[in-house]
Copies of this chain bind each other. A is one copy, B any other.
Amino acid sequence: MTFEATTSIRVRYAETDAMGIVHHAVYPIWMELGRSDFLRELGQSYAEWERQGVLMSVADLQVKFRAPARYDEQVQVRTQLLEVNRRKLTFVYTIYREGTRLAEGRTVHVVTGPDGRARTLPEDLLRFVRSRLPALAELPGALPG
């Protein structure tokens, strides 16, 4: 069992901008793909969570950009769950291309119902996620400066 998911993405033409590179607002979308895959590799499905009324609303988003990506390139998103409790999840991401680091990201999510109100993660779900993540404490607590 791995504690990180790696998502492979081929850059879409529609994701580029007039600078000839991927527009910065695309990275949060790639991070979301990483998050989906992370849960899937844990044996979970966010689509299924949603049907059961357990939503992860984004409360905080941070991205540091190191190098640009271009059309048709193959980029990777490595996703890790940094912290989880009944009310909040924090994910960290590294986006890279063949060894070149393109960006790092971090998102904080609060657990809400379909009405947008805060709720708690079902106890069994929390236990399950935690049981698969024994090494959480060893992850870095912040983005590199």
Contacts and interface: CB of A to CB of B under 8 A. Distances in A.
Interface of A: 10, 12-14, 16-21, 23-29, 32-33, 36, 45-47, 50, 55, 57-65, 68, 70-72, 114, 116
Contact of A61 (B17, B20, B24): B24
Contacts of A32: 12-14, 25
Copies of this chain held together in the complex: 4
Chain A facing B: main interface SS: mixed
Contact of A65 (B13, B24, B47, B61): B61
Contact of A13 (B23, B68, B71, B116): B23
B72 A65 contact: no
Q: Which of A18, A20, A26, A61 has the most CB of B within 10 A?
A: A18
